[in-house]
Amino acid sequence: MSEYAGQDQGGASVGLVAPKSYTFAEPPDPLHLESGASLGPITLAYETCGTLDADKSNAILILHALSGDAHVAGYHRQEETKPGWWEYMVGPGKGIDTNRYFVICSNILGSCMGTTGPGSINPQTNRPYGLDFPVVTIGDMVEAQRALIDHLGIARLLAVIGGSIGGMQVLEWAVRFPERVRAAIPLATTMRHSALAIAFNEIARQAIMADPNWREGHYHGNTIPATGLAVARMIGHVTYLSDQAMRRKFGRRLQDKEDFSFDFDAEFQVESYLRHQGSKFVERFDANSFLYITKAADYFDLEHRGGSASAVETFRRAQAKFLVVSFTSDWLYPTYQSREIVRALKKNGLDVSFCEIAADCGHDAFLIPNARLTSLISSFLDRVTHETGH
């Protein structure tokens, strides 16, 4: 998540929203995972805003990135000053207009923001799962979301929308449940991680596992691996930015001093900033969840999904209309990866729109107020609604 998340850009707020939860996969009917393991019961944290039409045709599922949560817009309490993470995009009169659409956002499987994950209590032991929690995939996350959508009585989603790992979930929805998705909007994402992306994730995971307080994942009730998790976040945060953004924001400026101190304190502003981001992250996120979610992202591969020989073959199942968006300065998931998605979709004769947005803020660009992105999403949803007669 970005430091910019929650900044507004016109329109009204959805106001107060209530956290909700749905529990399913109760024994003897657990969720069967792609790894071959089973998991249950599972609780999903979710939030909704807007009003569901009588025919339940106006539902949009928003899918968050790695460290996100279900709190996509609005406020939990009247006195709160920080809204949901996509406040600028979701709300009355905004890009995703809650006067027209019923918005659902659920926390992903394996997270620590209200949904069952490695920090949850294992009913077999009455202790937190830790590394006894089974490895989950993007597909498993989508299966859990499908259970929630079934619970809400929605047969077909007007759209699924998400950026980064959320964009992976969008693509998975489009090929796993093609008959249930009218439109798909993957933002700043990829069909599979590059070696570079996997490498950064592995360095971050090793930072956590090298922390002596990690205790092979069983640190609950003890000192948490704060140093390792903070370093992991610092590594990840660099990949979300860009050279241009960092030059503009920090350059080589020193923090609260005029000359070098010739020691290893945080002297440069960028050093201080990264340490601050790491410290903030430790306060709100679980180290094991970080391990599980990054591994799920690394495993994601639409080129070889279910025995497919290519992404073109994988996307043969898709039926949705697509809007694919990339950003010029995103070096984590560069535009060429979005173009690969577009080519595979077009080879299947699908309705595909594509836009590369000029932005100098890196991978986090989809979280930062951007009039072009707002207009694209709003116009695309208008078209889908009109063309589908809903």
* Residue-by-residue pLDDT tens, the chain, 390 positions: 444 344 444 678 999 999 999 999 999 999 999 999 999 999 999 999 999 999 999 999 999 999 999 999 999 999 999 999 999 999 999 999 999 999 999 999 999 999 999 999 999 999 999 999 999 999 999 999 999 999 999 999 999 999 999 999 999 999 999 999 999 999 999 999 999 999 999 999 999 999 999 999 999 999 999 999 999 999 999 999 999 999 999 999 998 888 888 888 888 999 999 999 999 999 999 999 999 999 999 999 999 887 788 999 999 999 999 999 999 999 999 999 999 999 999 999 999 999 999 999 999 999 999 999 999 999 999 999 998 775
- Report d(CA 227, CA 286) in Å as an integer: 12
pTM of the complete model: 0.95
- For residues 183 and 214, state if they share a domain: no
- For residues 46 and 189, state if they share a domain: yes
Selected catalytic residue, list 57, 106, 120, 164: 164
- For residues 73 and 148, state if they share a domain: yes
Residue 363 designated active-site: yes
- For residues 130 and 262, state if they share a domain: no
Do the domain assignments include residue 14?
Answer: no
Among candidate residues 294, 325, 352, the one where a domain is terminated: 294
Query: What is the span of the domain harbouring residue 226?
Result: 199-294
Selected catalytic residue, list 64, 193, 237, 363: 363
Do the domain assignments include residue 1?
Answer: no
Selected catalytic residue, list 289, 330, 338, 364: 330
- Torsion angle (degrees, nearest 10) of CA 302, 304, 309, 315: -20
Q: How many domains does the chain fold into?
A: 2
Report the 10 Å Cβ neighbour count for 283. Answer: 7
Q: How buried is 3 (Cβ within 10 angstroms: 0-12 exposed, 13-18 middle, 19+ buried)?
A: middle
- For residues 209 and 277, state if they share a domain: yes
- For residues 181 and 265, state if they share a domain: no
- For residues 246 and 286, state if they share a domain: yes
Among candidate residues 294, 323, 340, the one where a domain is terminated: 294
- For residues 287 and 312, state if they share a domain: no
State how far the alpha carbon of 293 is from the alpha carbons of 68, 110, 137, 192, 296, in Å. Answer: 11, 7, 8, 14, 5
Do the domain assignments include residue 345?
Answer: yes
Residue 164 designated active-site: yes
Give just the sign of the alpha carbon dihedral 97, 151, 108, 174.
Answer: negative
Among candidate residues 268, 294, 320, the one where a domain is terminated: 294
Residue 343, domain CATH: 3.40.50.1820
- For residues 220 and 273, state if they share a domain: yes
Do the domain assignments include residue 132?
Answer: yes
- For residues 83 and 224, state if they share a domain: no
Answer whether 42's CB lies under 8 Å from 116's CB: yes
- Report d(CA 214, CA 227) in Å as an integer: 10
- For residues 177 and 256, state if they share a domain: no
The DSSP element (H or E) to which 60 belongs, if any, is strand 59-63
- Report d(CA 334, CA 79) in Å as an integer: 40
Return the closest-CA partner of residue 334 out of 248, 239, 244: 239
